[in-house]
Structure 1
Amino acid sequence: MIYMSSLVIPANAENAGTEGTKPWMNTKLSAEERTELLLDAMTMEQKIQQIAISRFNENDKGDPVVIKRGGTSKYMNGEFAPQGTLPGCEFQDTGRQIKGIEELGIPTVRMTNGGTGVKGGSCHNDPLATGLPSTPGLAATFDHELNYEAGRILGEETRAFAHHVFLGPGMNLIRHPYGGRNYEYFSEDPYLTGTLAIEQTKGIQDQGVQVQLKHMAGNEQETERWTMGVQVPSQAMNELYMLPFEMTVRDADPASVMCSFPDVNGTYACDSSELLQDALRKNWGFDGYVMSDRRAIHDTVAAIKAGTNVELDWAPQYYTQEKIQEALDSGAVTEDDIDNLLRPRYIKMIEFGHMDEPFDKFMPEIVDPMANGATARKMAEEGSVLLKNDNGFLPLDGEPKSIALIGIETFAGAAKMSPRSVRDDNDYVVTPYTVTPQEGLENVIKELGYNTKVTYNNGSDPKAAAKLAAESDVVLLMVGDNPHETVDRETLGFPALNLKSGVAEQEPLIDAVMEANPENTVVVLKTSGTSIMPWLDKVPAVLQAWYPGMEDGNAVANLLYGKVNPSGKLPMTFGATEREAAFATEKQYPGTRQDTGKVGGPGPYGDGKSDQLIAQYTEGLEMGYRWYEANNVKPVFPFGYGLSYTTFEYGDLKVKKVRETGKGGKGALSGLDVSFTVTNTGDVAGKEAAQVYLTLPDEAGQPTKRLVNFEKVDLEPGESQRVTVRINHADSNHPFSYFVPEEPDNLANWADGEWATVDGKYRVHVGGSSADTPLEKDVPLNFKLDKENGKGNN
């Protein structure tokens, strides 16, 4: 029998220290003081146990769970008897717990997987939770408050599930449309990603739940994710891929960060001092802790020295008692190194109240599922992007008497939520309810008093679907993709899905409908991002709905019927071909094999025969809209694009220099105030996400302009609103600056360098997308900064 210690919280934590038995439980002391007292009281064996995940059975009943596996999975084995630390918590084989220590009063810490709903935690029985839209859909809202609300819901429901840490948000950039987990990430743009991740992080942590930003860094693909490597130029690494993490660390104070799988510029992320010491801690001042992704550590000593505070796995493989004791005995690591791993995590536990407040029962009563569902619907509505609407085909009205709802069950027969497993027939968040597309359509048709019949066809017989399409006044064709963890998309088309009911084909269905009644067909896309649409010119309207979540049916129907005016904007560029931009060559994605001396091939340990797969980010800064603009290539739909049922006009751009208030009058230049007017020139109320871009002087070597701010305005017909946004030189996204590597040709030293700001002509752009900025103004700027406040710290 494997003994698992129980969770014990002192009955009177504040007075515990006065008794002299556990002085670190005295809440009158600072978190730092309490942590030092605790570390002094711990044995080395206890310290080693506390730096690794140790799944165990927290239930209060049932038989012991026996795990017996062979081969490379033998380390997962064990017999797990119920310990009673969280009644009703069924044993979870992929549990994410750090087991508490009874005699020291250290509670067990539970973590739940991130994404757009609470699922995949330390208990097998997932809670009822809100199924939010996929993260690109949340990003497409261009709305700060809605993303804070997403965080609030995720944090609240994590707390109700008696879990302490939320593993998210995911902040890798959507470098290419094939990414198997792009539905977990915000955008191709680092500023949009960072800004909205800051909001989600604040929303989660305001509920008393720790955030764990992931996956830092270079985790832009799933193909051979455990063994593959990335080679990213230093400037691109700092200005693009690391920037969202830097912004969130600086502005939202996240408790923790997850280091990623890839070999980043020659060193695996979780073993990399360049990543976890130089960039994260030294350059940004991060004071939290780092946990590895599952099986992402490759070297015990390197990971300890780099500062990977916790090893995530079924059971430790590198942070074992034996391996660490061996490293201690040899002098490769010291007890101070081990203390350095524990210190920030304990400080965060104390700061969040997790050392003192019992998380010993589920609390579903603190969640209002209907209110959270209504908020999820609003997110799905405001994140959906109207891509095409010829001759005002949408919104629908009461004139059509018959609607053909066509599409395979995944996209047209059920609410489409973000995948949460590695199968085509995916697991999803366990929601209190869902709204199917047909239910949503019938709800709004009834509410508006129309006499329209909706008939659903699941596409299993394309001929029957085509017949229904031909006989119907309007066709709603709902199609999508189905990427998932560990597997990148194989096509930018619409794949066949292996469902429990059999193989469900989409392309033959699309062809049949396009042959039957294209002129009356609205295509609703439920995808993770870019799709190739050879039929685009045939149909009058296309709505990108992403994975709308549990309120899919209501949200999409409200948009189609104009009950809600679309206001989403694309958080990534929709290109025209299977190979272009940062995915133009195999060398860029998924990479080519190189003899690096490291294991390659699929699976956590490779296949024993392949060289390592290396993805080379040869495009540098020319990723996403930057590539299309720099190379004068017109995409199908640009970044930031989205139509409305009304129209907007921009005007009266004013750019004012902002100076620090100093003694004796004007201080140093600190930024810009950008002011402009947005007018609703149409006949219905609508929202517009106004975007502000900045082009740096030529000396900065940037390929094109960059997004530096945005604001969403809500306008009645004929209404105008004056918008002013401030762009500060000191902002965490370095809006006026560029990164100068210390050694540009030495990828291993990618974190060393400084942010520089050049004097010269800056151009401000304002408009409704990256490709449509009707307001532009050149401004000469001269940031006279002293060394302390300048290049290294702006």
Structure 2
Amino acid sequence: MAGEPTTQQHTAHDGEQIREDVVAAALGTLDLDAKARLLAGKDMWALPALPGIGLKSLVFSDGPIGVRGTRWTADDPSIALPSPTALAATWDPELARRAGRLLAQEARRKAVHVLLAPTVNLHRTPLGGRHFEAYSEDPYLTGVIGAGYVGGVQEGGVGTTVKHFVANDAETDRFTVNNTIGARPLRELYLAPFEAIVENAHPWGIMCAYNSVNGTTMSEHRYLQNEVLRGEWGFDGAIVSDWMAARSTRGAVEGGLDIAMPGPQTVYGEALAGAVRSGEVEEALVDEAVRNVLRLAARVGALDGAPAVVPEAHLPAAIDGQDLAREIARRAFVLVRNEGGALPIDVSRTRKVALLGAAARDARVLGGGSATVFPEHVVTPLDGLAAALPADMLTYSVGADPSDELGVADKGFELRAVCRDADGNVIGEGSLPNGQVQWIGDDLPAGVTHETLHSVEVIGTCTPRDSGEHAFGTRGLGEFALTVGGETLFDGFHGPTEGADPFESFFGAPTERGRVHLTAGESVSVSLRHVVAKDTGAPMPAVMFSLTHLAPRLDEDELIARAVEAARDADTAVVVVATTDRVESEGFDRKDLALPGRQDDLVRAVAAVNPRTVVVVNSGSPVEMPWREEVAAVLLSWFPGQEGGAALAEVLLGAQEPGGRLPTTWPAALADVPVTQVTPVDGELPYQEGVFIGYRAWDRSGAVPAYPFGHGLGYTTWEYGPAVLDGTTVTVRVRNTGTRAGREVVQAYVAPTADTVERPARWLAAFASVAAEPGEEVEVTLVLPRRTFEVWDEGAGAWEFVEGPYEVRVGRSLTDVRSVVRWEGPR
């Protein structure tokens, strides 16, 4: 009969009830110490196992573009997908779902139960250092893409922790900053993606942020975590702290925090059991947290007797990670300018292509910080074009290097780590993919313990690509001895900077220790010995330092001159420009939006001699492009993942279309950006702009960006018919009027025409991605959610429906409107 539950619904409900019964039974057998212990990490990445109730150790791992696993090493490589800004640029939640399924597949391969992703904080300002790890400036687009991603991961039987709840929108003083936010912007902007994902994807976990909101640190925010997240929205998963975010025992457990990570030194465990015994904390609160953790374990299949939400037999079909990484990359590339049909490059009419820029050879495929993974291989733009073009058609020249700072020793280095005890005896060795050592908790080479480890020596060879003066240095804290080719460059101690973010010492600027003249192709020995600091007060022992290096700085004018000559002799010049990990990374915010080094000079010089200059911008977030009107084409590649170079060749040569649309407004200059505040004053960062961020703020300020939200060109053209409105459903027919197949992102924006409430001029309400062959017409249906027409009434503490009239503007971007229909309000 109509309306009766299906067999599948019955099965899902039965499984849920069984899980709840098993959780309740397991909880009833645990004593206080076991319960308190379960809520605290046993190490960096895992919770303790409790064999007595059949509970396996729950393992967490960083995302969001790959699954690192419990060891920060290339010994167990990870698929590296494009950055979250790239995924959002596809405007395709189903593609995000497929990305999630792949990451679940990777997580299972690495015995990981819970992925620490996705990041759904907003692009409040382009100066946010972790901008690349979040999706968009728009809460609706963020929520839709995030829900697709969460759904895909959990369809693969792996949990997610949607993060960072809430308002972790900048990196400066993120551990201590108090973000003061009005109730309207908090609800309408910053909470909105979390609410949408909880409603539409039912995540099994949420990660609370480091920062405070309106005076209360998020790990203790009873109102936002208990009353809003659990109460209003019905979230029934586990809340885990960001690593080292939990501040106090009573505050955390009363504020709704279930899991304090990492361990073993946390505010939970023995401290929590003691607080219950002293009467400071009610045991019922501990029970509720344990119930949430056991429910998470049951859902991922880590609790005996409880059926996993996704049984082994029902897991999705295997996905080819390299193929998906390449597909996402090309679907994410945003073609923002294409004059005179510069793209795609017609190989049949091309004699020579000049590829220019250091980033074309040494591509940056992912952002810095906890998002870092180690792919098995990386396809650079040079690799991709060299494979796709005849050998005599492609030339390459460095032109300009974006970095003048030392970076982690990588290209040309063969290194390993040798561990010694206090007597100098070797107690173990580990392989290193580069000069970075990051061993946290038990992540140590076989046979090595923190108790016996006294020093680590990064040792091996450097075979330089270029002759000249090479700079070597260190990054990290403590005692170092650096030797290159038998010459000691440094032997001493490097101390911390007062008040610095702990991440800054490891991900921040390295320190140069000396220079050595080397000859290209001739190997020299390299050694960096580090004495491991003990009793640092950290929640767990860790060994974190790097050998750093900078190749010879050749004369920049000469490099640009060589590139200009190569461009002059080519039919098309492709210039790849990029940011560096000192510009975009976790742990610090950006100071400006300028491309580092002399990359702007390179582009202008090349454009002056070649009218078919194509610029590929390899950055995770906006940069200034003062030359954008001087070049034929500009293609934004974001951080494109491990297959980025292969995808780039497909798009540049026309085998595939660039499918992306801007998920964030791209400014012409930082001076035009309406919201730029990231630095707290006296510990506070007021969100004074209210509900006006992103394109909402641009509309209000009247400033004109370089490229608007939603903008993106393809290799075909589209014609829109009139939009038709029926209730809150909009239909529009679009036709591919070009000569090749293409994909269009149809966007609907709502604009109030008679407003008694202060609101943005317009906002995204719905979108759909459609494909069509040449001449084909397709009908697109867009449903406008009720929330589109609601505002948060601060006085009533509730959502208020604001009746019309409105205009519903349908088109290709925020500003490229093709059809407008008037909406008078509900019938």
> With structure 2 as the length reference, what TM-score do the two structures score?
0.75
Q: CA deviation at 1:103?
A: 2.9
Residues 99-145 of structure 1 deviation map (CA, whole Å, 9 limit, x = unaligned) = 11233322111011011111153675663322111111111111122
The correspondence of residues 204-223 of structure 1 with structure 2, limited to 5 A, is 204-223=153-172
1:542 is aligned with what amino acid? V
Residue number in structure 2 paired with 1:132: 81
Deviations 1:641-683 (A, max 9, x none): 00112211211211002xxxxxxxxxxxxxx110111112222
From 307, 327, 344, give the equivalent of 2:275: 327
Asked if residue 769 in structure 1 is aligned to residue 813 in structure 2, the reply is yes
Partner in structure 2 of residue 430 of structure 1: 374
Q: Paired residue for 1:626? A: 696
Q: 1:368 to 1:553 in 2, by over 3 A?
A: farther
User: Is the Cα contact below 8 Å between 1:438 and 1:456 reproduced in 2?
Assistant: no
1:238 aligned partner = 187
Question: Aligned residues: percent identity?
Answer: 32
Match of 1:736 in 2: 789
Q: Once the 2 structures are TM-superposed, how far is the Cα of residue 231 of structure 1 from its aligned partner?
A: 1.2
Shift in Å, 1:233:
1.4
Instruction: Note if 1:478 corresponds to 2:426.
Output: no
1:759 alignment partner, one of 775, 790, 803: 803
Structure 1 equivalent of residue 591 of structure 2: 490
The answer to whether the 8 Å contact 2:126/2:622 transfers is yes
1:39 maps to 2:27: yes
- For the residue of structure 2 that corresponds to 1:722, the secondary structure is strand
1:174 matched residue in structure 2: 123
Partner of residue 767, structure 2: 710
Unpaired runs of at least 5, structure 2: 1-13, 401-553
1:385-404 aligned at under 5 Å gives the runs 385-398=334-347, 399-404=349-354
Distance 2:320 2:278 in 1: 58
How far does the alpha carbon of each residue in 1:44-86 deviate from its partner, in whole angstroms, 9 at most, with x for none?
111111111111xxxxxxxxxxxxxxxxxxxxxxxxxxxxxxx
Q: 2:146 aligns with which of 190, 197, 200?
A: 197
CA contact (8 A) 2:79 2:322 kept: yes
- 8 Å contact from structure 2 (residues 133, 367) kept in 1: no
What is the Cα deviation at residue 456 of structure 1? 4.1
Distance 1:117 1:368, change over 3 A: farther
Match for residue 355 of structure 2 among 400, 405, 410: 405
Given the superposition, is the C-alpha separation of residues 535 and 688 from structure 1 closer, same or farther in structure 2, using an over 3 Å criterion? Answer: same
Structure 1 residues 304 and 124, CA gap change in structure 2 (3 angstroms): farther
**Matched residue SS, 1:781:** coil
Residues matched between the structures, number: 646
AA of the residue aligned to 2:395: V
1:452 aligns with 2:399: no
Q: CA deviation at 1:174?
A: 1.0
Structure 2 counterpart of 1:590, from 673, 678, 703: 678
Distance in 2, Cα, partners of 1:168 & 1:543: 28
| C-alpha distance in 2 between matches for 1:629 and 1:231 | 23
Tell me whether 629-638 or 413-422 shows the greater mean CA deviation: 413-422
**C-alpha separation in 2, matches of 1:453 and 1:276:** 56
Number of the residue aligned with 2:659: 567
**1:592–1:130 distance in 2 versus 1, CA, 3 Å:** closer
Contact 2:355/2:394 (8 A) holds in 1: no
- CA deviation map 1:719-750 (0-9, x unaligned): 21111122243xxxx1221111137xxxxxxx
Aligned to 1:341, which of 289, 292, 313?
A: 289
1:200-251 CA deviation, whole Å, 9 max, x = no partner? 1110001110111011111111111111121111111111111000000011
- Asked if 1 retains the 8 angstrom alpha-carbon contact of 2:119 and 2:133, the reply is yes
Q: Please give the root-mean-square deviation of Cα atoms over the aligned residues, in Å.
A: 2.5
Structure 1 residues 770 and 712, CA gap change in structure 2 (3 angstroms): same
Kept in 2, the 8 Å contact 1:758–1:782? The answer is no
Taking structure 1 as reference, are residues 592 and 431 closer, same or farther at Cα in structure 2, changes over 3 Å only? Answer: closer
Is the 1:420–1:429 contact (alpha carbons within 8 Å) kept by the matching residues of 2? no
Partner of 1:637: 707
**Shift of residue 451, structure 1, vs aligned partner:** 6.3
> SS at the partner of 1:145?
helix
Q: Following TM superposition, by how much is the alpha carbon of 1:367 offset from its aligned partner in structure 2, in angstroms? A: 11
> 1:349/1:428 Cα in 2 relative to 1: closer, same or farther (>3 Å)?
closer
The answer as to whether partners of 1:416 and 1:550 remain within 8 angstroms in 2 is no
Aligned to 1:558, which of 641, 644, 650?
650
CA distance in structure 1 between the partners assigned to 2:317 and 2:770 by the alignment: 29
The amino acid across from 1:457 in the alignment is: V
Q: 1: CA distance between counterparts of 2:360 and 2:192?
A: 38
SS at match of 1:336: helix
1:351-370 CA distance string (max 9 Å, x none): 332213999xxx9xx99998
C-alpha separation between the residues in 1 aligned to 2:286 and 2:174?
28
Amino acid at match of 2:165: M
Q: Report the equivalent of 1:353.
A: 301
Shift of 1:689: 0.3
Shift in Å at residue 320 of structure 1? 4.0
- Indicate conservation of the 8 Å contact 1:119/1:126, yes or no: no
1:52 and 2:40 correspond:
yes
Distance 1:50 1:125 in 2: 30
Contact residue 128 and residue 431 of structure 1 kept, 8 A: yes
- Check 1:133–1:124 CA distance in 2 against 1; reply closer, same or farther (3 A cut): closer
User: Does the C-alpha gap of structure 1 residues 512 and 368 become closer, same or farther in structure 2, counting only changes over 3 Å?
Assistant: farther
Output the TM-score relative to the length of structure 1: 0.78
CA contact 1:39–1:339 (8 Å) conserved in 2: yes
By how many angstroms is 1:392 displaced?
1.0
Which residue identity is paired with 1:738?
V
Q: Distance in 2 between matches of 1:163 and 1:536?
A: 44
Instruction: Tell me what 1:721 maps to.
Output: 778
Partners of 1:317 and 1:535 lie apart in 2 by 52
Alignment equivalent of 1:649, drawn from 719, 730, 752:
719
Summarize deviations over 1:424-474 as a string: whole Å, max 9, x none: xxx94332333221221133335xxx9623324363533333333333332
CA–CA distance in structure 2, aligned partners of residues 676 and 368 of structure 1:
35
Which piece of structure 1 moves more, 396-405 or 296-305?
A: 396-405
Q: Which residue does 1:66 correspond to in 2?
A: none
For the residues of structure 2 that align with 1:123 and 1:46, how far apart are their CA atoms? 30
Q: Are the structure 2 counterparts of residues 476 and 124 from structure 1 closer, same or farther at C-alpha, using a change threshold of 3 Å?
A: closer
Q: 1:478 to 1:35 in 2, by over 3 A?
A: same
Change (3 A) 1:106 1:182: same
Partner of 1:156: 105
Q: How far apart in 2 are the matches of 1:693 and 1:317?
A: 47
Q: Structure 1: which 5+ residue stretches go unaligned?
A: 1-25, 56-94, 497-504, 595-611, 658-671, 744-752, 784-794
CA contact under 8 A between 2:173 and 2:680: conserved in structure 1? no
Structure 1 residue 481: Cα displacement: 1.5
C-alpha separation in 1, matches of 2:244 and 2:336: 41
User: Matched residues in 2 for 1:169 and 1:485: separation?
Assistant: 15
Which residue in 2 is equivalent to 1:466? Answer: 564
Letter in 2 for 1:718: G
Shift of 1:562: 1.2
The 2-side partners of 1:651 and 1:634 are apart by: 28
Aligned mates of 2:109, 2:299 — CA distance in 1: 19
Correspondence for 1:687? 743
Cα 1:742/1:126, change in 2 over 3 Å: farther
Q: What is the CA-CA distance between 1:638 and the residue it aligns to? A: 0.2
Greater RCO, 1 or 2 (C-alpha within 8 Å, sep 6+): 2
Q: Give 2:632's match in structure 1, choosing from 524, 540, 543.
A: 540
Deviation sequence 1:575-626 (CA, Å, 0-9, x none): 1221444424xxxx123422xxxxxxxxxxxxxxxxx2x2221111111111
Q: Distance in 1 between matches of 2:767 and 2:213?
A: 32
Distance 2:59 2:176 in 1: 28
Q: C-alpha distance in 2, partners of 1:27/1:687?
A: 40
- The Cα shift of 1:39 comes to 1.8
